[in-house]
Structure 1
């Protein structure tokens, strides 16, 4: 009897040690980019539920009812009005050729392209860019901060979340004075953007065990790629424990 008790006690000690070791490994493997993970996972789940109940059904209906030429025209229209803010941010980053090109895109598509419904500028080999104020700050060396999931707006970094009001202020649709028109266009743009992502849902559900972690890592990777125009800083595995440089730009002689 005493031997059985001793054996069970030993087993309990081994099991307890394994749990402690596992907890230690988990702590070491925690992503330094995501110190707010508990909050972020809860907000991610909230956004997912809102999307499932209120957004996806509308996006699916839009995708089913609107023919491809209409969806293409809608996408071109919103892409065109966005070129003004994109161009402004390129100019703020000192990329004057890109900035002037963005403004020329807007001028051409708004006139020859009939209010941007047709993307004439791309046919003339004027490239489409993707810039916002968060990227502008990142370009000038402002660190991104922690990963952050914003209510309704989804993945962000602290830097990008803080300047979200600036991006909204510079957005041509949000700046429309007539409230019904602004709200209608905002809703249409949101539904159109969500409809474009419908095919990804099933892939994410079937292709990953942790949808949250996949979405976080993909967002951060793509965000850094855009901030540095496809040439992000070289990763240092000893820096911050995460192989990142918090928005530090690699000097030309180091590239």
Structure 2
């Protein structure tokens, strides 16, 4: 959920509210400014491009692009499953990666899911959580979206295992831009609904992100942010 949540929804102001302070969001003032920046980037750049992409690219081609990036993500899944000693999941994702990369023409076609190989989601933030590293304060990252001190490490680790990280700058930018546009196009309807429904979209996305990460890490405790004290 990294980049898109920030690009889909914006903050209402640059000032932290009382609820932000009580929720334990010590960086709320800065986070809201970044959130507003991300919303403007989405409104003026990403959403128009994603809209044009949806209208001009046929659905089968968009599905192929989606499958390609899903297959690419299995590299990170395998790496983190190995680090977490999840042998069964790692074996399944290795098989998914091999199956779709070969018979699926580099991942453009997803044959693994119909074949009964489940899709997993792991990242380095979840690996750290597996070994007891706390989430830390909530962060809203420029263009990358909602995160936390712990989860923000995933972006650096992903750059080491992503094969396109070693390609030319032009290739990297092209791949990243295509990924962003594809994800934004998939979430077009959901973003419009949330924009109409959420009163404080910054707080809504923050709560959604934190609850989702707690669920993914197997933490069944409170979904509120930890209390780090009021920001000075």
Q: TM-score, normalised by structure 2?
A: 0.85
> Is 2:73 the partner of 1:82?
yes
Q: What secondary structure, in the 3-state scheme, does the structure 2 residue paired with 1:128 have? A: coil
Aligned match of 1:13: none
| Misfit runs of 4+, over 4 Å | 26-29, 239-242
> Is 2:92 the partner of 1:105?
no
- Of structures 1 and 2, the one with the larger relative CO (CA 8 A, separation 6+) is 2
Aligned equivalent of 1:153, options 114, 120, 144? 144
Q: What secondary structure, in the 3-state scheme, does the structure 1 residue paired with 2:156 have? A: helix
Aligned match of 1:50: 41
Unaligned runs of 5+ in 2: 1-16
Q: 2:75–2:97: 8 Å Cα contact kept in structure 1?
A: yes
Q: What secondary structure, in the 3-state scheme, does the structure 2 residue paired with 1:152 have? A: coil
Q: 1:90–1:131: 8 Å Cα contact kept in structure 2?
A: yes
Equivalent positions of 1:31-180 (< 5 A) are 31-173=22-164, 175-180=165-170
Distance 1:217 1:84, change over 3 A: same
Unaligned runs of 5+ in 1: 1-25, 243-255
Distance 1:240 1:192, change over 3 A: closer
Aligned match of 1:234: 221
Q: 2:24–2:227: 8 Å Cα contact kept in structure 1?
A: no
Q: TM-score, normalised by structure 1?
A: 0.77
Distance 1:241 1:37, change over 3 A: closer
RMSD across aligned positions (CA): 2.1
Q: What secondary structure, in the 3-state scheme, does the structure 2 residue paired with 1:159 have? A: coil
Equivalent positions of 1:171-250 (< 5 A) are 171-173=162-164, 175-228=165-218, 232-235=219-222, 240=226
- Greater C-alpha radius of gyration: 1
Q: 1:146–1:158: 8 Å Cα contact kept in structure 2?
A: yes
- C-alpha distance after superposition, 1:168-198 (max 9, x if no partner): 222233x242333222122111110111111
Q: 1:109–1:120: 8 Å Cα contact kept in structure 2?
A: yes
Distance 1:119 1:236, change over 3 A: closer
**CA distance in structure 2 between the aligned counterparts of 1:236 and 1:197, rounded to whole angstroms:** 24
